[in-house]
Amino acid sequence: MNKKLPSVIFHDVATSKDKCNCVCEIVSTAYENGDRLFIAVENEKAEIYLDTLLWSKPDVSFMPHAIAHEKSALPIVISTHIKNLNGATVMLNLCSSISPLANEFEYIHELEDHTSSEKKRLTEERIHAYENKKIVLQQIRYNR
């Protein structure tokens, strides 16, 4: 069976505030559209930070989400695990490299991070990795 490659959307962010706002908007939009979202992070500290951000962001309405390390029925899952724990069709990849799960999703959101030269370099590596896999990329400038 030939599975369709995902569409990858890079969101151009220049500041830490932009990153937080952009992440919250991606999560909110996915939830409002009825999409299941898997948020990939690299470590427990990132899981906790993102969970706290999503609970505390005042302009974002309630979105049922949780940190998960096993299967979950919630529409939004934050995890370090390399497994699509909630059967999501959309991924928000907040890791420094592309996910080995990339082909399991219809859409993947990435941050085109310009907050430091190292983050910019890692973004460029992810862009090249997707291009090498012949995955179509879209770039969106975050509305600051």
Contacts of 65 (CB under 8 A, 6+ apart): 27, 51, 54, 74, 75, 76, 77, 78
Q: Is the pLDDT of residue 94 over 90?
A: yes
pLDDT of residue 83 exceeding 50: yes
What is the torsional sign of CA 47, 50, 51, 52?
positive
pLDDT of residue 136: 83
Q: Which tokens belong to 129?
A: 């990795």
% of residues, the chain, pLDDT over 90: 80
What are the domain boundaries of the chain?
11-141
Mean pLDDT over 125-131 rounds to 94
Pick the CATH number of 11-141 from 3.40.50.10110, 2.60.40.10, 3.40.50.10880, 3.40.50.2000: 3.40.50.10110
Neighbours of 123 (CB within 10 A): 19
Summary mean pLDDT of the chain: 90
